[in-house]
Structure 1
Amino acid sequence: MKKKVISVLLALAMGVSLVGCSQENGSSKHNDGEPDRETEVVDLKANEDYFTFRDSKSGLKLTGLTDKGKKQESLVIPSGVIISCTLKEGIVKNVYFESDDDIDLKLLLSGSDTIETIKLPANLTELTAIDSCHSLKEITIPKGVTEIPKLCFYSDISLETVVFQGDITVIDDNAFKQCESLENICIPDSVTTIGNMAFYGCKSLKTITLPKGLKVIGNSAFQNDEDGIKTIIVPEELELEKWDKEAFDQFESEYTVKVVKGSWADNHFDEVFSGNAIKKFA
């Protein structure tokens, strides 16, 4: 009976499509022939034999992986613990969480060469470093997260797709710097600030639509030292209050900026876009 119930649940789950922040821009991406991430793990109960713990005054701390845990390609992080370790010492490829409750991730997901998929808790409100994860290809940011902090995804060189489920307001300095495989990202219109070098070196990002609510953009935010962005689409509503003139510069490469005639971006084009920017009317 139990096997039958699990089979039914799997069939139902496989029929459900995840919606990214923008279907039009193809931000939600699944590889053909691979299982949906929602159905990869049926039982999200953590195996405590895979982890080491320590009691403290502040609560039970997860301090590392056992020898058995270091051999696991999929791990479910236990609920109700305080994170006090990273996963760099194992061979884990897939990371899940036993609970959807908010949690302080600390450096749990930082610096792993093996992690390929991460299913973050649905009620997460704050990201910490998920940097230098050289095998991570896709990440979905839960709706409760409002800020991508400094260096959050720095040097995630295999990261191709980022999906925002909620209203991000700030993408801070170096947040996606050197994510050189990043191809798909739909920046929500709620974003008001993009920091210094936020997308510097994202050489696979060929087209970007700026958010309608953007007010501040930092130094070299979208700059590339190799052939990078080809097209920047500027919505009619956008009116910057503070910007760096080299925010969009592609060094020696030409890039097209599509603006609405008579809009703020049209009237301030030469002040905002430098280098080999070519204006075109949308």
Structure 2
Amino acid sequence: MKRRTLLGLGMLALVLGLSACGSKEKSSAGEVKQEADNGKEGLEVHEEYFDWDGDEIIGLSDEGRTQAVIVIPKKTKSIKNFFNDPELKMEELYFESDEDFPDAYMLSSARTLKKIVLPKNQTSEINLSLCYQLESIDIPAGVSSIADYGFMDCTKLQKVNFLGNQMKTISLSAFMGCQRLEGISLPESIETIEASAFQDCKGLKEVHFSKNLKKISDMAFANAGTESFYFPKEIKDLKISSDSFSSVQDAKCYVVKGSWLDKNYEKVFGSFGEKTYYDGE
């Protein structure tokens, strides 16, 4: 009887373990990550937290100004930019609807927000620049572009999770001045990193590039604190500006032995970085 019980418990543990494994995927940074949680289950929508002009939110009511958590109602068609008020108590922002919200760019300069959960089906361009308290962001799978300067000076931003492969460009100065950004794994679709995209990201220790990368532009990683750059074996014909890694010290460039980059390392990088081999995983 005891043996059957132990066997049953063992099988249950195995099933639970397999189920848990099924909910995870391995990121290009080599870390196991969970699919993003929208985080809004159990939250209530309060239209009285807002001042309205028809279906447009033009501000927060006196009660709304005292709330730490705000949910944008589904009926909202547009928002006026009032989030830059440093007196707001708002720390977390959610959307009742999962559908694309074109006015999301109005969230730039939201000085008090630590957490923003964009709609699951967001496709419109993102601009969250000057959100000084923002700590992490999940970029929905359908988003194909970040605005120029889209996360500039989000000085507390530590983690960026790309959920899809629609984006082809990391735009001009997109993460410039994100001093606490620790690491970045770019979507496989990224072909170009524009000028100053990660300039002055002093806390950025590790970067995993996409296999379709073709160009790293001027000052893209200038004055960043990066120690390790990982280049997939599929990369070919990569163009790097002479000052792409200006003032980056003692970095290692990880390439796959026998790859195009391995064979053309000096031509592409010049004297920058220490070529180091890895398995590409």
Q: What is the TM-score of this pair, normalised by structure 1?
A: 0.81
What is the alpha-carbon distance in structure 2 between the residues aligned to residue 23 and residue 236 of structure 1? 13
Give CA deviations for 1:24-69 in whole Å, capped at 9, x if unaligned. Answer: 633748xxxxxx96556503x42111111113xxxx2111111111
Task: Decide whether the 8 Å contact of 1:62 with 1:85 is kept in 2.
Answer: no
Percent of paired sites with the same residue: 31
- Show the 5 A alignment for 1:166-205: 166-167=164-165, 168-205=167-204
What is the alpha-carbon distance in structure 1 between the residues aligned to residue 82 and residue 21 of structure 2? 32
Once the two structures are TM-superposed, the CA of residue 247 in structure 1 deviates from its matched residue by 1.4
- Show the 5 A alignment for 1:3-18: none
Say yes or no: does 1:63 pair with 2:58.
yes
What is the alpha-carbon distance in structure 1 between the residues aligned to residue 121 and residue 229 of structure 2? 33
Task: Tell me what 1:150 maps to.
Answer: 148
Amino acid in structure 1 at the alignment position of 2:72: I
Give CA deviations for 1:10-36 in whole Å, capped at 9, x if unaligned. Answer: xxxxx999757718633748xxxxxx9
Task: Tell me what 2:69 maps to.
Answer: 74
Give CA deviations for 1:225-264 in whole Å, capped at 9, x if unaligned. Answer: 6xx111111111112454312213334x211112223322
| Secondary structure in 1 matching 2:207 | strand
Once the two structures are TM-superposed, the CA of residue 214 in structure 1 deviates from its matched residue by 0.6
| Secondary structure in 2 matching 1:49 | helix
Distance 1:185 1:21, change over 3 A: farther
Task: Tell me what 2:93 maps to.
Answer: 95
Higher helix share: 2
Task: Decide whether the 8 Å contact of 1:21 with 1:28 is kept in 2.
Answer: yes
Distance 1:247 1:274, change over 3 A: farther
Task: Decide whether the 8 Å contact of 1:250 with 1:275 is kept in 2.
Answer: no
Deviates more, 1:108-117 or 1:78-87: 78-87
Task: Tell me what 1:261 maps to.
Answer: 257
What is the alpha-carbon distance in structure 1 between the residues aligned to residue 253 and residue 113 of structure 2? 36
What RMSD in Å do the two structures reach over aligned CA positions? 2.6
Which of 88, 102, 105 is 2:103 aligned to? 105
Which of 266, 269, 274 is 1:273 aligned to? 269
Task: Decide whether the 8 Å contact of 2:29 with 2:184 is kept in 1.
Answer: no
| Secondary structure in 2 matching 1:62 | strand
Amino acid in structure 2 at the alignment position of 1:137: E
Task: Decide whether the 8 Å contact of 1:176 with 1:199 is kept in 2.
Answer: yes
| Secondary structure in 1 matching 2:106 | coil
Task: Decide whether the 8 Å contact of 2:28 with 2:208 is kept in 1.
Answer: no
Deviates more, 1:45-54 or 1:15-24: 15-24
Once the two structures are TM-superposed, the CA of residue 177 in structure 1 deviates from its matched residue by 0.7
From the CA coordinates, give the structure whose radius of gyration is larger: 2
Task: Decide whether the 8 Å contact of 1:47 with 1:76 is kept in 2.
Answer: yes
| Consecutive unaligned residues in structure 1, runs of 5 or more | 1-14, 30-35
Query: Number of residues paired by the alignment?
Result: 255
Once the two structures are TM-superposed, the CA of residue 75 in structure 1 deviates from its matched residue by 0.3
| Consecutive unaligned residues in structure 2, runs of 5 or more | 1-19
Once the two structures are TM-superposed, the CA of residue 127 in structure 1 deviates from its matched residue by 2.8
What is the alpha-carbon distance in structure 1 between the residues aligned to residue 105 and residue 276 of structure 2? 44
Say yes or no: does 1:126 pair with 2:117.
no
Once the two structures are TM-superposed, the CA of residue 76 in structure 1 deviates from its matched residue by 0.4
| Secondary structure in 2 matching 1:262 | coil
What is the alpha-carbon distance in structure 2 between the residues aligned to residue 85 and residue 150 of structure 1? 18
What is the alpha-carbon distance in structure 2 between the residues aligned to residue 215 and residue 264 of structure 1? 12
- Show the 5 A alignment for 1:199-214: 199-214=198-213
What is the alpha-carbon distance in structure 2 between the residues aligned to residue 268 and residue 241 of structure 1? 10
Which of 221, 227, 230 is 2:227 aligned to? 230
Give CA deviations for 1:137-187 in whole Å, capped at 9, x if unaligned. Answer: 110011111222211111001000110110022211111111110013211
Amino acid in structure 1 at the alignment position of 2:42: V
Give CA deviations for 1:109-145 in whole Å, capped at 9, x if unaligned. Answer: 2112210111110010023320111111110011111
What is the alpha-carbon distance in structure 2 between the residues aligned to residue 147 and residue 240 of structure 1? 24
| Deviating 4+ runs (over 6 angstroms) | 15-18
Amino acid in structure 1 at the alignment position of 2:27: S
| Secondary structure in 2 matching 1:108 | helix
